[in-house]
């Protein structure tokens, strides 16, 4: 039997990803209509007073909640399936990290979480796509803060390495067992109630699109450490 070469497999993969993305988009449109009409129905029910009103409102609320859940799932899936080659420009990883941390500083303050920054001021530039890289970092920071329900410390450290630029994200949260850590980057795997299971796979896909890699160490009850590494831009000769 003839072997299918890598280029053919890649073409089939892109075709399948495009088909899946188109299908998700087609589902999203009528789902939005259902959600909108459920909102309108809820408003009309609240303006009336009749036997069974509370039961009807409860059922409509359930429809709205499930519509929202499906819309979130489709949004994450579309982001995952449509990742393509990104247009990279040289930029500062520190600036990307600082932007995301400032976004989550209010949440950290409310949760009693101390964010500790060790950002190397002499860090070399990397090739990056700002919007997608920030989306990846947002997912990782959000997960770290959510893991520290009773407060704690979140250490963010950048440094130069022999192979490029490193970013460590270390939390003192609940941690994960080995089984969870092994599967956490698999699409649709989630330990969160209502989670899409696409956040971390998408984050990894973005990091790998930057030529980088991500790994994790975790211990139940002690916390989790995500380690990212990005290559430096190729030198112009």
Is residue 8 pLDDT above 90, yes or no? no
For the chain, strand residue ranges (E) read 89-91, 113-118, 126-128, 152-161, 164-171, 213-219, 223-230
What are the domain boundaries of the chain?
Answer: 6-81, 89-230
What is the number of alpha carbons within 13 Å of residue 205 lying toward its C-beta? 21
State pLDDT tens for residues 53-77. Answer: 888 888 888 888 888 777 776 766 6
State pLDDT tens for residues 146-194. Answer: 999 999 999 999 999 988 999 999 999 988 888 777 777 776 656 666 5
Tokens of 124: 């070399």
- Tell me whether domains 6-81 and 89-230 share a fold: no
Architecture of the CATH domain 89-230? 2-Layer Sandwich (3.30)
Give the C-alpha separation, 144 to 154, whole Å.
8
Residue range 120-134: average pLDDT? 90
Region 6-81: CATH code = 1.10.287.130
């Amino acid at each position: 039997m003839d072997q299918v070469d890598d280029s053919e497999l890649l073409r089939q993969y892109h075709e399948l990803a495009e088909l899946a993305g188109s299908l998700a988009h087609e589902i999203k449109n009528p789902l939005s209509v259902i959600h909108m009409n459920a909102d309108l129905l809820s408003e009309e029910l609240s303006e009336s007073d009749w036997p069974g009103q509370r039961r009807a409102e409860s059922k409509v609320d359930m429809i709205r909640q499930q519509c929202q859940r499906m819309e979130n799932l489709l949004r994450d899936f579309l982001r995952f399936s449509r990742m393509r080659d990104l247009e990279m420009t040289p930029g500062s990883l520190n600036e990307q990290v600082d932007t995301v941390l400032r976004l989550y500083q209010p949440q950290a303050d409310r949760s009693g979480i101390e964010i500790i920054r060790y950002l190397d001021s002499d860090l070399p530039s990397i090739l990056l796509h700002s919007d997608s890289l920030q989306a990846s970092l947002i997912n990782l920071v959000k997960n770290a803060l959510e893991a520290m329900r009773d407060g704690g410390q979140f250490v963010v450290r950048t440094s130069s390495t022999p192979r490029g630029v490193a970013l460590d994200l270390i939390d003192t949260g609940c941690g994960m067992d080995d089984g969870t850590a092994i599967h956490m980057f698999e699409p649709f795997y989630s330990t969160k109630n209502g989670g899409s299971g696409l956040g971390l796979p998408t984050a990894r896909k973005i990091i790998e699109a930057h030529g980088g890699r991500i790994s994790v160490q975790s211990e139940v009850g002690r916390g989790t450490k995500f380690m990212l590494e990005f290559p430096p831009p190729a030198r112009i000769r």
